[in-house]
Structures are given as structure tokens and as C-alpha cells.
């Protein structure tokens, strides 16, 4: 069964450093998303991406964040200068159609020290 | 603002007992509704979905949910739980023609005891 994959599973970085989180969505899906979950809190939407551009972004997704689909399979989230409060689990998701069910990857746990 | 409320943060229950996890959403427009399950140290797995049609939807692992438009609710039920159902359950909603983002509830931690 096709699935969304994410790498790395765990990333530790120092405050101020850049990180890139990688995702491989399900191959025939066209809509891609990033969410984050701070420990003990609910899952929050960050950004949606379709047709090589951002469809929607939340207020969390400020200028420090960017997304890219560098090739036909990868979908990346970059945080330019990490802050302590960026520590969270980051989930990638994809769907075949907008507003329909999304399939999530296993997540990347980002720890900023 | 659009929101999803899961009324119970923790639900302890004995094995083989029935369970209901409650979810309410705020909306006056068409919605799609989902339940996801998160096992410890794992990602989110789709449990079931309501897109249209019958208001009673069945999902994996014996779970079902009922969409109630008048009460803006989408409660999750299982007639008899197993130890393996112990997990965090998230209700989520997306709004028709609004880009597809999911809005999640706070989650309900289901703890099944022997």
C-alpha cells in the first residue's frame, strides 16, 4: 500500500541553524501539506501546496519557513533560522483531491537546543 | 473562527466495554469530517471519513461515527474496545472549497484497561 514517507525521523539542531525536513508524498497525489504538533498540543496546519505553489498558509508559517517541490517526488519544508519554539513533530500529508482525506507520514521530531 | 472541539481529553475504559469519543465542530458551510488515530510514537492514521451520503460511516478496527448536521457533531463509537485501541484520537474537519487544510481537535486519549 502506498504511503507517505518522511526523513529524518529525528533532527536535533542548534538555535539559529537551518533545517530541511523531507517528505515523499504518495505518487499520484497532487495536494501536499505540512502540519506540526508541539508536544502535548493539537496538530496545527502550516501550509498547503498545489501545482508548485503555496495554496494557503497559516500565521505560524512566517518568513522563516519555506516549502519546495524540487523534483517529481520530494516535498520539503525549510526553516531558515530555527528557534526553541520550533521544537515539535512535523507531519507531511498528501491527498488526491482538495478537502478530502489526507494521508500522513510518520513525522519528523525536530528538537531545537 | 472555524474550530473543532473534542469534549473529553482522556477517556479510560475497560476492555470489551463500549466507548464514545465526542467531537463538535463550528460551521455553517459544507464540511468533510475525519477521525485519525495516533498510536504512541507513530504518525496519524486515517480511521474513517464522512464526505457525503449516509450519516453513519464505518471505519477500520470496528469504529464507526455518525454525522449530525443539526448538532454539528461527529462522535466516534466502538461497541467493544480492545487493549490495542489505546491511542490518541483526533477529530478533524475540512471545509468545502476552502483549500483543503484540516482543522484538528485537541485529541482524546483513549486508555483501555484489562
Smallest Cβ–Cβ distance between B103 and the set A33, A45, A106 belongs to A45
Residue B84 φ/ψ, nearest 5 degrees: -70, -10
Nearest CA in chain A to B102: A45
List pLDDT tens digits, range B1-13.
788 999 999 999 9
Residue A53, C-beta contacts closer than 8 angstroms, at least 6 positions apart: none
Longest dimension (CA), chain B: 45
Residue B40 φ/ψ, nearest 5 degrees: -50, 130
Instruction: Compute the distance between CA of residue A68 and CA of residue A74 in angstroms, rounded to an integer.
Output: 8
Higher-pLDDT residue of A99, A11: A11
The answer to whether the CB atoms of A55 and B99 lie below 8 A apart is yes
Size of interface A-B (CB pairs under 8 A): 66
List pLDDT tens digits, range A18-73.
999 999 999 989 999 999 999 988 899 999 999 999 999 999 999 999 999 988 78
Chain A residues with CB under 8 Å of B90 CB are 42-43
Residue B80, pLDDT above cutoff 90: yes
Q: What is the pLDDT of residue B66?
A: 95
Give percent above pLDDT 90 in chain A: 85
Question: How far apart are the two ends of chain A, measured CA to CA in Å?
Answer: 37
Which residue in the block uniquely carries the three cell numbers 531545537?
A112
Higher-pLDDT residue of A73, B105: B105
Which residue in the block uniquely carries the three cell numbers 475525519?
B34
- Residues facing residue B91 across a β-bridge: B35
Query: Cα A49–B5–A34 angle (5° rounding)?
Result: 20
List pLDDT tens digits, range B16-70.
999 999 999 987 678 899 999 999 888 899 999 998 888 999 999 999 999 998 9
Chain B residues with CB under 8 Å of A5 CB are none
Instruction: Compute the distance between CA of residue A17 and CA of residue A110 in angstroms, rounded to an integer.
Output: 12
Q: What is the pLDDT of residue A71?
A: 87
Instruction: Compute the distance between CA of residue B109 and CA of residue A43 in angstroms, rounded to an integer.
Output: 14
Q: Which of A10-19, A36-45, A74-83 has the lowest mean pLDDT?
A: A36-45
DSSP annotation of B80 reads S
Chain A residues with CB under 8 Å of B51 CB are 100
Amino acid at each position: 500500500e502506498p504511503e507517505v514517507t518522511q526523513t529524518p525521523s529525528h533532527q536535533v539542531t542548534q538555535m539559529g541553524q537551518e533545517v530541511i525536513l523531507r517528505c515523499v508524498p504518495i505518487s499520484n497525489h497532487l495536494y501536499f501539506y505540512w502540519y506540526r504538533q508541539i508536544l502535548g498540543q493539537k496538530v496545527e496546519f502550516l501550509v498547503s501546496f498545489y501545482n508548485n505553489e503555496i495554496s494557503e498558509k497559516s500565521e505560524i508559517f512566517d518568513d522563516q519557513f519555506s516549502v519546495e517541490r524540487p523534483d517529481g517526488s520530494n516535498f520539503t519544508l525549510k526553516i531558515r533560522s530555527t528557534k526553541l519554539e520550533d521544537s515539535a513533530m512535523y507531519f507531511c500529508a498528501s491527498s488526491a483531491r482538495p478537502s478530502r482525506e489526507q494521508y500522513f507520514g510518520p513525522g519528523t521530531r525536530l528538537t531545537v537546543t | 473562527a472555524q474550530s473543532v472541539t473534542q469534549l473529553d481529553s482522556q477517556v479510560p475504559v475497560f476492555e470489551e466495554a463500549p466507548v464514545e469519543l465526542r467531537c463538535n465542530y463550528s460551521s455553517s458551510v459544507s464540511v468533510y469530517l475525519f477521525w485519525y488515530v495516533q498510536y504512541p510514537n507513530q504518525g496519524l492514521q486515517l480511521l474513517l471519513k464522512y464526505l457525503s451520503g449516509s450519516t453513519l460511516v464505518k471505519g477500520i478496527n470496528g469504529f464507526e461515527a455518525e454525522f449530525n448536521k443539526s448538532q454539528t457533531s461527529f462522535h466516534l463509537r466502538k461497541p467493544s474496545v480492545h487493549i490495542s485501541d489505546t491511542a490518541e484520537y483526533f477529530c478533524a474537519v475540512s471545509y468545502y472549497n476552502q483549500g483543503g487544510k484540516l482543522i484538528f481537535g485537541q485529541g482524546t486519549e483513549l486508555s483501555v484497561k484489562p
